A = this chain, B = another copy of it.
Amino acid sequence: MEKYHHSTRILVALDCIVFGFDGEALKLLLVKRNFEPEKGKWSLMGGFLEENEDLEVATNRILYDLTGLKDIYFEEIQTFGKVNRDPVERTLSVCFFALINIHAHDQDAVKAQNAFWINIENKPNLIFDHNEMVNVALERLRYKAALHPIGFELLPEKFTIPQLQKLYEAIYQIPLDRRNFSRKILSTNLLIDTGEKNQQSATKKAILYRLDKEKYQNKFNAFHYFISDSMR
């Protein structure tokens, strides 16, 4: 290990993949850059780590600037560190993804950043290594959502089981059986019947549920837990 002063100090950026769900498709919040470098092209939302700022604080700052929301669910994915990943100057990028309720964000904040919600199937080409970041993020989302109940983070506070099913179908791009899905979700006991029904539906109105936040915390890891008891 070298002495501290021998080593190089480098720029540290944070880049964020923001996922949303509009009821039909999985969406990404992407920035049409009106600033240099690569002005006019698409990129992820990002920023630089500041001098006296914890990494986690910087993440929250960037998410807040973009969406106007606090307490967003986010998760670090990976730190990207190829020497030439940023052509202007060597920059490390700590990359994370965030899940937000697409209806709750501050539209003015999004406009101010020149950001837009884009269907994940229509994702434009992004600058630098941002395409790879999105790929890794999507993979991680799929992995995580299969094992832990993070899907709820993308829905409004009150939601129906069919809505939740559509979300999972959008994430995995596969059809799911309505009846088995319902039973599986209800068997987690994470949902509380609000007594209300979804008035938007044209046919039978679905029950609106909300998340049991206490159980959500406790069961977060137990959701599909490991060493599946099966081996004991």
- CB of A177 within 8 Å of the partner chain: yes
A1 vs B175: C-alpha distance when bound (angstroms): 40
Across the interface, A232 reaches (CB within 8 A) one of B46, B90, B176, namely B176
Task: Tell me the chain A residues, 26-58 only, with Cβ under 8 Å from chain B.
Answer: 35, 46-56, 58
Chain B min CB distance to A227 (Å): 5
A184 vs B228: C-alpha distance when bound (angstroms): 11
Chain B min CB distance to A114 (Å): 11
Report yes or no: B35 in contact with A54, Cβ–Cβ below 8 A.
Answer: no
- CB of A147 within 8 Å of the partner chain: yes
Across the interface, A48 reaches (CB within 8 A) one of B1, B91, B175, namely B1
Report yes or no: B9 in contact with A10, Cβ–Cβ below 8 A.
Answer: yes
A76 nearest CB neighbor, chain B only: B78
Interface string of A70-108 (1 = CB under 8 A from B): 000000101111110000111110100000000000000
Give the A interface residue count (CB, 8 A): 56
Known: A48-B1, A54-B83, A177-B231. A226 touches B11 (CB 8 A): no
A78 nearest CB neighbor, chain B only: B76
Report yes or no: B49 in contact with A143, Cβ–Cβ below 8 A.
Answer: no
Known: A11-B9, A12-B10. A232 touches B177 (CB 8 A): yes
Known: A174-B227, A227-B174. A52 touches B11 (CB 8 A): no
- CB of A172 within 8 Å of the partner chain: yes
- CB of A201 within 8 Å of the partner chain: no
For this chain, the copies found in one complex come to 2
Across the interface, A231 reaches (CB within 8 A) one of B2, B9, B80, B168, namely B168
Report yes or no: A35 in contact with B1, Cβ–Cβ below 8 A.
Answer: yes
A146 nearest CB neighbor, chain B only: B226
Report yes or no: A10 in contact with B7, Cβ–Cβ below 8 A.
Answer: no
List, in ascending order, chain B residues with CB within 8 A of A7's CB.
Answer: 11, 48-50
Interface string of A205-225 (1 = CB under 8 A from B): 000000000000000000010
Which 3 interchain pairs have the tightest Cβ spacing?
Answer: A55-B81, A146-B226, A7-B48
| Interface pairs (12), CB distance under 8 Å | A1-B47, A4-B11, A4-B91, A7-B50, A10-B10, A12-B92, A53-B83, A54-B81, A55-B81, A56-B81, A76-B79, A147-B147
